Amino acid sequence: MIRPTLFALLFLATRLPAQDAAPAWRFLFNGKDLAGWVDVNTSPETWTVRDGLLICSGQPIGVMRSDRPYENFILHIEWRHMQPGGNSGVFVWSDARPSANRLPSGMEVQMLDLDWIHQHKDPDGNPAPAGYISGELFGANGLTGTPDNPRGERSMSRELRCKPHGEWNSYDVVCVDGTVKLAINGKFVNGIRNSSVKKGYLCLESEGAEIHFRNIRILELPAGMATEAETAPLLE
């Protein structure tokens, strides 16, 4: 019986078709500059890099987008607000085109500081529901979806897991065929499905407060069944 040598096995492995290779993680932020990102409607001062971190000043309100669209993927992103009540988020399957409120259409994965609900009380003086501040998912500016844990058309997390400003939070966002599942700091707690758009850009949001990002990476998954009508227009 002839046993293949290690060299022979390595040689065969290099000849496997590229499409047979297993999906691999790829960093979307290199820790040095904004390569791979395109400013949509903010300013050169809004997004900077310092000590390996992506710093968003929060001004003006708007977004920057990935340089290309994505369909099915897992996104890992870590973030921390730097002041009480900070507001931001990441959009998936976005058209990356500003609307009247300066933000695009897309499925938003909310990033709110814990103090936000105390700064935005109802007319009776009661804080907003805690689900606001722990990864709420919703279709923004025309995109629609079916929430797993409804608050109207939005989906609230089933468990409060976000940490306060100054501390790092970790999101793992699984996006497949119009369904989004969100894990916060190591546990899946929210989801939304039947997204009206299933392929589009990633957008990072500037919305009034300083926020830091790090370890932004993506694992692209095989293509799905997104039709032309379910795909955001390609941008130059």
Average pLDDT over residues 195-202: 98
Burial class (CB in 10 A: 0-12, 13-18, 19+), 13: exposed
Measure CA 76 to chain center.
8
pLDDT on residue 17: 52
Query: How is 129-159 classified by DSSP, letter by letter?
Result: PGGGGTT-EEEETT---EESSEETTEE--SS
Q: Sign of the CA dihedral 123, 124, 127, 130? A: negative
Whichever domain contains 148, its CATH number is: 2.60.120.560
Q: 155 is in which domain, residue-wise?
A: 35-224
What's the pTM value of the predicted model, to 2 decimals?
A: 0.89
Rounded to the nearest 5°, which phi and psi values hold at 140? -105, 140
% of the chain residues with pLDDT over 70: 92
- 4 in a structural domain: no
CB neighbours of residue 189 within 10 Å: 21
Q: 173 pairs with which residues across the strands? A: 75, 182
- 14 in a structural domain: no
> What are the tens digits of pLDDT across the range 127-171?
887 777 789 999 999 999 999 999 999 999 999 999 999 999 999
Query: How is 56-124 classified by DSSP, letter by letter?
Result: E---SSEEEEESS-BSSEEEEEEEEESSTT-EEEEEEEE-----TTS--SEEEEEEE-TTHHHHS--TT
> What are the tens digits of pLDDT across the range 86-111?
999 999 999 999 999 999 999 999 99
Structurally, how many domains does the chain consist of? 1
* Average pLDDT across the chain, whole number: 92
- 236 in a structural domain: no
- 213 in a structural domain: yes
Q: How far apart are CA 85 and CA 166, in angstroms?
A: 12
> What are the tens digits of pLDDT across the range 23-40?
899 999 999 999 999 999
Measure CA 115 to chain center.
22
- 234 in a structural domain: no
Read off the tokens for 224. 């799905």
